[in-house]
Structure 1
Amino acid sequence: MEKNETKPNIPVLEWAFSTVGVIIVVGILAFNIVQALNDRETPPDIQLKAEEPIRTTQGYLLPIEAVNVGGESAAALMIAGQLRSAEGEVESSEVTFDYVAPHSSKKGGLFFEHDPKVYQLKLRVLGYQEP
């Protein structure tokens, strides 16, 4: 008995797409490994963004966002907001974010009695703990 075996005929386009897929997967893995190795050397780097204040029954809520562009996490991240006039500090407020992972953000808010739009706003990071 003679077997009539034929090899499957795989189209060239299928080989091309398979090769491109493997190259993309390997590239993504290599990029992630390099990022993970390099990022661990950078401490938390927090950028603060303020949004439009919202009038509340107790005064004003100033929504803020803390963006960690660094390579390490920040726990118990303390943020202070200060309203200033030409005469000096008018009012201050603080908030603590439990945890901000690397390359992520958290939103929260600062409460003020005075309208933050009327005064000069100063936001700053006071400190954090290593998780």
Structure 2
Amino acid sequence: MTRSRQGRHRERHDPHWIEWLTGLLSALLIAGMLGRIGWEAFTREATPPDLSVTVLTTERAGSGHRVAFDIANSATTTAAAVTVVGRLLEEGKVIEENRVVFDYVAAESKSRGAILFSNDPAGRQVDIRAAGYTDP
């Protein structure tokens, strides 16, 4: 920006080289992102949900016990209405069974949840697994 003889501002009509460089770099970045998204859309195979559960912690919670876990989906397709079943087993017999339902577990991601048991899981086998899902 420059000043004229009367003290008014006057804009330059030719853009500065930094504006051209910034515009070029932005266009290249956007073209690269669109190219990658397009490449993945046409070449990536859709695989059905592959759910796995990992128990994280067991702790006392109020009048019961909370068993926290991660559920991971390693596939390229999202699973909806994912039902997770948790069982407490003692000598092969089911002492307690509870369920929790996740609205969805996105493709190639994991979610965290917990199942609440009224019996103490200490000294017992805890079996938590995905029991089913629907296609979104």
How much does 1:34 deviate?
4.9
Aligned to 1:76: 81
Q: Point out 4+ residue stretches in structure 1 off by more than 4 angstroms.
A: 24-40
In 2, distance between residues paired with 1:38 and 1:118?
49
Alignment root-mean-square deviation, CA: 2.9
| Contact 2:57/2:69 (<8 A) preserved | no
Aligned to 1:53: 58
Deviations 1:70-122 (A, max 9, x none): 1100110001011112x333431111000111011111110112222321121
In 1, distance between residues paired with 2:39 and 2:48?
17
| Contact 1:40/1:72 (<8 A) preserved | no
Aligned length in residues:
124
Pairing partner for 2:92 from 83, 88, 91: 88
The structure with the largest alpha-carbon Rg is 2
Pairing partner for 2:112 from 99, 107, 114: 107
Unaligned runs of 5+ in 2: 1-28
Unaligned runs of 5+ in 1: 1-23
Amino acid of the structure 1 residue aligned with 2:88: L
In 2, distance between residues paired with 1:38 and 1:89?
47
TM-score (normalizing by structure 2): 0.67
How much does 1:54 deviate?
1.4
Amino acid of the structure 2 residue aligned with 1:88: G
In 2, distance between residues paired with 1:130 and 1:102?
12
Q: How does 1:31-42 map to 2 (within 5 A)?
A: 33-37=38-42, 39-42=44-47
CA shift in 2, pair 1:118/1:34, >3 Å: farther
Pairing partner for 1:123 from 123, 128, 131: 128
TM-score (normalizing by structure 1): 0.69
How much does 1:31 deviate?
5.9
